[in-house]
Structure 1
Amino acid sequence: MTPKRVVITGMGTVNPSGNSISEYWESLCMGQSNIKLIDSFDVSKYTTKFAGLIENYDFEQILDKKECRRLSKFILFGYAATLEAVNQSGLSIDKYADHVGVEIGSGIGGIDVLEKMTIALHERGPNKVSPFTVPMMIIDMISGFISIKTGAKGPNCSSVSACASGCHAMGNAFQMIKNGKAKAMITGGSESAITPIGLASFCAAKSLSQDNENCKTASKPFDLNRTGFVMSEGAGILIFEELDFALSRGATILAEVIGFGSSGDAYHITAPAPQGEGGARAMQLALEDASLTYKDIDYINAHGTSTKMNDMNETAAIKSIFKDYAYDIAISSTKSITGHLLGAAAAIEAIASILMIKNNCVIPTINYSTPDPDCDLNYTPNKVINKQINTIMSNSFGFGGHNAVIIIKNYT
């Protein structure tokens, strides 16, 4: 069978930089960080007291009050983003239900529900644990819930690979359509891990920046003075479709997915493999899948977490694949603006990259002031640059040695 071409027809998001695609793009263009101190629970004893939070979104506009109370926030975020993406795509899911699938990733899932029910168990006993605890905390329920709400009856699954979850979900959706198993896929990632136990766990792992006095500038990927990542919450959802199917229904095509690569480090539970070897292999596999050479890539949306280890090793990985061109290619980490959405990061970064293609510009790495000798590439510091972008590569790497890379191009 001839592989099918896969295009993108819709996008949706709720994230700290905006509760819609238009709000998100405006914040990216302004280089505006909405990272702030956490006020939803007491953080006085935490080493990190800030994060990127979803605010001013009324979920009761899209679901009834009972469902909003019952559902984990990661499902609420994912459903809100799905509605925007499906609306933009114009896809009539009821008409093609058997051929529309769902593949959405999350790194942690319903930790908020699990935490709440654990407290109920210890304080009030087992009879006070909700019968909805298991279905609301398991990661696959985001795909299940969105399938139920939209009527999509095609392939239905969820990807779990820590901070690479969203990229693996998109890669799986891409392959599903490419191989003729679905006509369209609702895909992306969602995360809501900013809870007392979620924050405490990342603090204990010493993964987070502790720059509480300067939280808006704490995420500074590739800068010499970076001190850790900034945790955020939210979702990004994209509609992938088989090209001929999208054209047959008159859809507006935003971009084309042309390559995906994934690999495992087999090295350490949290640290990347030395010199980013695993990430480099995923980049090379994505290039081969897309039938491209490294010189065909115009922009890299780096994983760029603002941790010492990731940024140094990702830089080494890029150099190993892109050779001398590594010093010329435009690179940036939009996590400097949004913070790190964990399992949802890849999806909102794919959306940002598509918007860069559409607007012929590169969103910068903000908060960058002091070069690091180990991170010596062009990270597009602090200012948007105008540049024709045809083809992008987006990197995602997760705890456990999970590496995923997706390549997207302008549709012509």
Structure 2
Amino acid sequence: MTGARRVVITGSGTINSLGHDVPTTLAAMREGRCGIGPLDLRDAERLSVRIGGQVRDFDPQAHFDRQRIVLYDRFTQFALIAAAEAMAQSGITFDGEAGEMSGVVLGTAGGGLGTSDDSYRAVYEEGKNRVHPFVVPKLMNNAAASHVSMTYGLRGPSFTVATACASSNHAMGLAFQMIRSGMCRAMLTGGSEAMLCFGGIKAWEGLRVMSKDGCRPFSATRNGMVQGEGAAVFVFEEYEHARARGAEILAEVSGFGMTADAADIVMPSTEGAVRGMRAALTDAGLTPEAVGYVNAHGTGTTANDRSECAAVAQVFGPAAEQLMISSTKSMHGHLIGATGAVELLACIMALREGVIAPTIGYEAPDPECPLDVVPNEAREARVEAVLSNAFAFGGMNAVLALKAA
């Protein structure tokens, strides 16, 4: 892209079932630890699926005062915690004109689903005729992005993207494009999700794609996906601006591709995934041979894993034999609208530390998934470029390409 600005990542933050911050999360990924376990929530005994990647030992009062807790749904709390960690690492400030040249783009699929669930209970089950006056500001999908913008004085483009499981990849891709084009100097971007409430899980049960015993992507014994929750937020910044202030650069965002299957509301398309990955490679100026690792969408469903492996084999051709591909959903679950953001942490770890996060729970090879899926144990390997895939219900595909800093 002629005259395009380079875009780098200077801060990262997260809270998810593996850890309440980035160092703990990366340590869990290196160790192949599983954050999926029995759900601790109201009416769990009425669910047929009773496991999830739940954020444990989380006390909102340790982070927010009572007045703010009244305003913040769980997904907003997660986003603010992740944003605070990313801001602290980056060291960036948004005073004066800097705030006007910077913004927030976050992904979420469900928004304040816990607030919706509680309010429906109050009205329909308990017979109350009034809900809290802050219900709408808490449940709206843009609540997290709005509170992040207010917290840090970000007065540029700020909004929320909702494309199911591709939400945060779309959000980060748009943030990348805004900086590259010169529209913005820096962006807080990523995703947040808190669907692990009774109604959220009951709705997913209806799809019959959920596992009752674990997430085993690419394994012949896999039997479905497992939901997770949490957030990851990053500081994306124009390269020269980051260098001028002496910021540590974690990785470079080099390309983004997005496509639509225009085929089926739930069944994935190999062709759509192929076009998405090729678009990201072209945008980044990368050949398939230059990419050492792909963080797969890898949900653990039969349909997704096979179609994704077929797409990767088609895009990479002979280079697929040397390619490593893994799904960290096996560890933290499927965070739906936030999943791509948490998975970007594994991509940064691969580029910075030379550690490839494993696909845990792998029990037996599937002939239709004949790739190197880094089974069960992390691997040390030097890689210079990676892709991160997100392929969502509705046929929405979003792929990010990153390079080592």
The residue aligned with 1:16 is 17
SS at match of 1:186: strand
Q: Is the 8 A contact 1:361 1:389 kept in 2?
A: no
Counterpart of 2:228 in 1: which secondary structure? coil
Q: Matched residues in 1 for 2:299 and 2:18: separation? A: 17
Alignment of 1:318-333 (within 5 A): 318-333=312-327
Counterpart of 1:307 in structure 2 is 301
Give the SS at the match of 1:53.
Answer: coil
Instruction: Give matches, 1:368-407, under 5 Å.
Output: 368-407=362-401
SS in structure 2 of the partner of residue 282 of structure 1 = helix
1:342 counterpart (331, 336, 350) = 336
Q: Match for 2:336: what amino acid?
A: L
In structure 2, the CA distance between the partners of 1:120 and 1:42, relative to structure 1 (3 Å rule), is closer
Give 2:52's aligned residue.
51
CA shift at 1:357, angstroms?
A: 1.2
Give the corresponding residue for 1:214. Answer: none
1:85-234 → structure 2 map (5 Å cutoff): 85-95=86-96, 96-123=98-125, 127-211=129-213, 218-234=214-230
TM-aligned CA deviation for residue 43 of structure 1: 2.0
Q: Which moved more, 1:179-188 or 1:58-67?
A: 58-67
Q: 1:41 to 1:11 in 2, by over 3 A?
A: same
Query: 1:409 is aligned with what amino acid?
Result: K
Contact conserved, 1:396 with 1:404, CA < 8 A, in 2?
yes
CA contact (8 A) 2:169 2:340 kept: yes
Residues of 2 paired with 1:160 and 1:85: CA distance?
22
Q: Could you tell me the TM-score, scaled by structure 2's length?
A: 0.97
Partner Cα separation in structure 2 for residue 400 and residue 226 of structure 1 = 23
What TM-score does the superposition give when structure 1 sets the normalisation length?
0.95
TM-superposed deviation, 1:131: 2.0
How far apart are 1:127 and its partner, in Å? 4.4
Q: Runs ≥4 in structure 1, deviation > 4 angstroms?
A: 123-127
What are the within-5 Å matches in structure 2 for residues 249-260 of structure 1?
A: 249-260=245-256
Q: Distance in 1 between matches of 2:285 and 2:124?
A: 56
* Aligned pairs, number: 403
Q: CA deviation at 1:125?
A: 5.6
Give the secondary-structure state (helix, strand or coil) at the position aligned to 2:372.
coil
User: In the aligned structure 2, how far is the partner of 1:338 from the partner of 1:246?
Assistant: 31
Answer yes or no: is 1:236 the counterpart of 2:232. yes
CA distance change for structure 1 residues 126 and 320 in 2, over 3 Å: closer, same or farther?
Answer: same
Q: Write the deviation string for residues 221-269 of structure 1: whole angstroms up to 9, x where unpaired.
A: 0000100011000000010000111111111111100000000011111
RMSD: 1.3
Partner of 2:242: 246
**Contact 2:292 / 2:322 at 8 angstroms: preserved in 1?**
no
Cα distance in structure 2, aligned partners of 1:379 and 1:122: 47
User: 303-312 or 350-359: which moved more?
Assistant: 350-359
Secondary structure of 2:45's match?
A: coil
Could you tell me which amino acid in structure 1 is paired with residue 286 of structure 2?
Answer: L
* Contact 1:15–1:234 under 8 Å retained in 2: yes
Cα distance in structure 1, aligned partners of 2:393 and 2:106 = 18
Rounded Cα–Cα distance in structure 1 between residues aligned with 2:123 and 2:337:
28
Identity %: 38
Which deviates more from structure 2 when the two are superposed, residues 39-48 or residues 255-264?
Answer: 39-48
> What letter matches 1:94 in structure 2?
D
- Counterpart in the other structure of 1:266: 262
Of residues 198-207 and 60-69 in structure 1, the stretch that sits farther from structure 2 once superposed is 60-69
Shift of 1:97: 1.1
The residue identity in structure 2 corresponding to 1:85 is A
User: Counterpart of 1:164 in 2: which secondary structure?
Assistant: helix
